[in-house]
Structure 1
Amino acid sequence: MTWNALDAYDNGLSFFSEIVEAVPADRWAAPSPCDGWTALDVLGHVGEAASVGARILRGGELDFTRHDPPSSAVEGDPAAWWSARATEARDALTGATDLDREVDSPAGRRTVRDGLSFPAVDLYLHGWDIAAATGRTVGFPDDAIVFINGVFDGVPDEVTRRPGVFAAAVSVPEGGDATTRLIGWAGRDPEWAAD
């Protein structure tokens, strides 16, 4: 299946941005569903990935330096910091029209389509993580669910079930909605709640 990774990434930026803007200032230190990470760590991780993605799209020099903890990447107001990363990513998207162009990425040479697909997925899943960390419930838009399922359709478990990608799938209640099923597939407990 072929999908428009540019649209999926742009839509993911909007989804993630709406969640970030709704986080109360006192909730950034809350634990998240990502083991050992706070909501601010999740934000730092996604923001760093967005900056790398923008450099990939522009064909710029890649810097794979990662902050540990990821929250140390965030400077000043978290929402303002993220807004700058999202603007940088959107600006880079406007110049990217050839989805089959090969670019350097942290995973080696890839097409723009492949290079943006996983970061687009991350925007939705980590958006859910931040929402859960701050006591909110969010659902994924239907087009995001179709996109995410398409990205991983036919990808073997040994590729996705490893550190830094996804934990083992979590059982979800029968009859759960599409977001609940996807969250469980991605190794997250859909019932997870901060303290």
Structure 2
Amino acid sequence: MRIFVGEHTDTDPGATHEDDWLGTDPQAACTLAADLNRAAWHRPNALDTTVRLRFGAVPGPMAALIHLTEVLVHGTDLALATAQTHFIDEEACRELLTIMQGMDFDSFRRPGMFASAVATSDDAPAHRRLMAFLGRDLAHF
């Protein structure tokens, strides 16, 4: 989140992707990142900007969708890995999946981003359908 804030606000995030962002107090580090993130997106005209990402510059609305994907998908990854599925926002997963299915998503299916979709049942919970669409194999969860 801190790197995204830096890219979104054209400021130095203070570290790189590979650095230890959590330090000795992971909860405080996450709280700070969330607070900075929320402030960045609540700035006037935040969606009217162009955001530089590792793969190129994108308009504010697309940056918001990419960032939502990062937060929601990695949060779901963590909830699944730690058997805390009660923290998963099924409605947000359903909405994001609907948005992604309505766009040309193939350009995002490349190494380091998303794999090919994995088969899942239509009656699976929204988070499982979203993760399968993004190429996550949830057979072990």
- Unpaired runs of at least 5, structure 1: 1-49
Aligned-pair identity in percent equals 24
171, 175, 190: which one aligns with 2:119: 171
Q: How many residues align?
A: 140
Asked whether the equivalents of residues 53 and 116 of structure 1 are also in contact (C-alpha less than 8 Å), the reply is: no
13, 18, 28: which one aligns with 1:80: 28
Q: Counterpart of 1:106?
A: 54
93, 106, 122: which one aligns with 2:41: 93
Partners of 2:49 and 2:5 lie apart in 1 by: 15
Partners of 2:139 and 2:84 lie apart in 1 by: 12
List structure 1 runs of 4+ shifted beyond 4 angstroms: 61-64
Q: Counterpart of 1:126?
A: 74
Asked whether the equivalents of residues 93 and 126 of structure 2 are also in contact (C-alpha less than 8 Å), the reply is: no
Partners of 1:63 and 1:80 lie apart in 2 by: 16
The TM-score with structure 2 as length reference comes to 0.80
Partners of 1:177 and 1:135 lie apart in 2 by: 15
The TM-score with structure 1 as length reference comes to 0.61
Summarize the Cα distance change of 1:154–1:52 in structure 2 as closer, same or farther, 3 Å threshold.
same
4, 7, 17: which one aligns with 1:66: 17
71, 86, 94: which one aligns with 1:145: 94
1:45-56 pair list within 5 angstroms: 50-56=1-7
Tell me the CA shift for residue 173 of structure 1: 3.3
SS at match of 1:73: coil
Asked whether the equivalents of residues 101 and 111 of structure 1 are also in contact (C-alpha less than 8 Å), the reply is: yes
Partners of 2:29 and 2:46 lie apart in 1 by: 29
Greater RCO structure (CA 8 Å; 6+ sep):
1
- Unpaired runs of at least 5, structure 2: none
C-alpha RMSD over aligned residues? 2.5
Q: Counterpart of 2:140?
A: 192
